Structure 1
Amino acid sequence: MERLSTTGIVGSGVLSDDTNPRDWERRIAERSEQLYRLKLLRKLLVVWLFPGNLLLAAAVVVGPVLWRSGLLAAVLAGALVASVAISGRLLYREHLAVRGAESELRALECANREELLDELGSGDLLGAQRYYRAQLPDIIERHRSEARRDRWKENILQVAIIGGSIIAATVTAVAMSIVEFGWAAVGISLLVAVSAAFSGYAKYRERALGWQQAADALEREYQSVELRAGRYRRFDNDDEAYAEFADTVEALRNEQVQRLRSTVSGAIGQ
């Protein structure tokens, strides 16, 4: 079996030339924990950038009306501009950090898998199939992670649409008596329209449902092959059962890829 090239991984410091295979699990666990923390911070920044700044925008509109202060309006407007700029920049930096950590984690996992497959030997097909099943929980978790990510994006857009619509209606009513707030009503209405259009284009809800369905289907196969349930009850030996299992899992993963492509192409065609 051809070994996976890890030159880029070694050069980046993720792996060293004398990496001990026994240390890979520890390194993968450490990298996974780092990735979890980065993603958590990114979620907090998303909350700050979208709902947080939306509430601050509402304060910019409502505050001066309640307290009749032009100075307050200027201070709140400056705070809004600064908040959007800072949160946007921090979110972008955190996004790059998450992508880097994900790439390093995938590199570690790939190198670890190749090493273990080499240890099994080229003739141990059943061992390779069993190892393939052992790796399936990681694939399932990634599918569910993608589903959670798409649901999170959809929820953010819905908050912007619903909250923005309420604020836009309030500002429009205020603008009937205070003409200066007309521009705010236009801006917030534009934000709502853009959010609604992007939500319809990206189809995050459909994508999240597809990822979740694929994860559930893979988990059923994962449990069934060991319990000899469902389609696997007719097999008397591991060779046939695990061959069927590998074929079914690959078919399910290919189906998910085709479904995702269909969703994206359908959004583009609209």
Structure 2
Amino acid sequence: MPERTTTSNTRNTTDALIKYRRDIADLRQRIKNRRFQVAGLFGTPIILALAILSWISLKVFIWLHGDMPNAIHGAFTGFTIILAIATIVQFAVEFSANSPWRDSETSVRKLKLDLELAEERRILEARRLTPSTLERQASYKERIPTEVVRLRKESRHYRRVHLLMQWLLFTSSAAISAITAWYDPPQPGKGALITLGFMVTVITAATGYFKPRERAFNLQQTADSMEQHITALDLGIAPYMQEDAKNLELFATSVEGLRVEQRKREQQLDQPHQSRQEVI
């Protein structure tokens, strides 16, 4: 009887932890969907306003004393109508009583809070049933894949920011030369050159200050190192070739060392260049 009771409790614990994992995965997907919905809700009206503003600007600055070509006029008309319909439909769906959107009128911040609470409940449930040091280390091991996912996500974010900055910098620099060679009169080439020169200066300064490339590299390197330790522990290869208790202790020590090094690298990137040289 005691063995059956223990087996039943273990099964119930496993089912509860699986349910928590499913809830966490569902919340992550809901957050992605909600971000897409919010982007459509706010992005479509903004694009609509920019399209109308561009339409008016072309008419005023280029075809003020003439007729706008029918092709351009028709393109702006169709584009504006499509955006207007999309805006109305999205707002109607968002604020409808029977909205097909699961999280309509729900902020992404609230969903993120629900996700954090669900992850915390899963960790606390695992810890409540594993009070020993060995089992707490095992629970810590289960949290590391989430940390790896977070690091990879931040790394991709900074890498995309860096690529966007570089492409804007390349495009603006090339456009400056092209406009300089193309336009003889001061306008509209002069205004475009001022704008592009401003963009090049801002992008260059932002890239040097925020260092998205270095941040992406550091985050990716830390995530790869953590994943290497997880794989080594699961396979029982060096340096995890001892007893389970010693392996988990070594794993926790190694991973915490990697996280400390990552925080130090982030602090070094946040410091001015002169301060970093003094620290080194």
Task: Give 1:98 shift.
Answer: 4.8
- Greater relative contact order (CA < 8 Å, ≥ 6 in sequence): 1
Residue of structure 1 in register with 2:115 after alignment = 105
The answer to whether the aligner puts 1:30 opposite 2:26 as a matched pair is yes
Task: Give 1:249 shift.
Answer: 0.7
User: Given the alignment, which residue of 144, 148, 157 partners 2:156?
Assistant: 148
User: Given the alignment, which residue of 258, 262, 266 partners 1:260?
Assistant: 266
Q: 1:130 to 1:259 in 2, by over 3 A?
A: same
Task: Give 1:231 shift.
Answer: 1.7
User: Given the alignment, which residue of 217, 242, 248 partners 2:225?
Assistant: 217
Q: Counterpart amino acid of 2:238? A: G
Q: Counterpart amino acid of 2:152? A: R
Measure, in 1, the Cα distance between the counterparts of 2:208 and 2:39. Answer: 22
Q: 1:44 to 1:156 in 2, by over 3 A?
A: farther
Q: How does 1:143-182 map to 2 (within 5 A)?
A: 143-182=151-190
Aligned residues between the structures: 219
Point out the structure with max Rg over C-alpha: 2
Residue of structure 2 in register with 1:137 after alignment = 145
Q: Is the 8 A contact 1:151 1:205 kept in 2?
A: yes
User: Given the alignment, which residue of 246, 251, 260 partners 1:245?
Assistant: 251
Q: How does 1:197-208 map to 2 (within 5 A)?
A: 197-208=205-216
TM-score by length of 1: 0.67
Task: Give 1:166 shift.
Answer: 1.9
Q: 1:241 to 1:113 in 2, by over 3 A?
A: same
Task: Give 1:119 shift.
Answer: 1.8
Q: Counterpart amino acid of 1:255? A: E
Task: Give 1:179 shift.
Answer: 3.0
Unaligned 5+ residue runs, structure 1?
Answer: 1-19, 84-95
The answer to whether the aligner puts 1:69 opposite 2:63 as a matched pair is yes
Task: Give 1:239 shift.
Answer: 0.9
Segments ≥4 residues shifted beyond 4 Å: 20-23, 38-45, 96-100, 267-270
Task: Give 1:251 shift.
Answer: 0.8
Q: 1:213 to 1:191 in 2, by over 3 A?
A: same
Task: Give 1:140 shift.
Answer: 0.8
Q: 1:39 to 1:262 in 2, by over 3 A?
A: farther
Measure, in 1, the Cα distance between the counterparts of 2:175 and 2:40. Answer: 23
**What SS does structure 2 have at the residue aligned with 1:230?**
coil
**What SS does structure 2 have at the residue aligned with 1:120?**
coil
Task: Give 1:167 shift.
Answer: 2.1
Q: Quote the sequence identity (%).
A: 23
Measure, in 1, the Cα distance between the counterparts of 2:251 and 2:37. Answer: 38
Task: Give 1:191 shift.
Answer: 1.2
User: Given the alignment, which residue of 112, 115, 119 partners 2:125?
Assistant: 115
Measure, in 1, the Cα distance between the counterparts of 2:193 and 2:240. Answer: 61
Unaligned 5+ residue runs, structure 2?
Answer: 1-15, 84-105
Q: 1:30 to 1:190 in 2, by over 3 A?
A: same
CA RMSD of aligned residues (A): 3.9
Q: 1:136 to 1:22 in 2, by over 3 A?
A: closer
Residue of structure 2 in register with 1:3 after alignment = none
Q: Is the 8 A contact 1:150 1:204 kept in 2?
A: yes
Greater share of residues in helix: 1
Task: Give 1:68 shift.
Answer: 5.8
Q: Is the 8 A contact 1:175 1:181 kept in 2?
A: yes
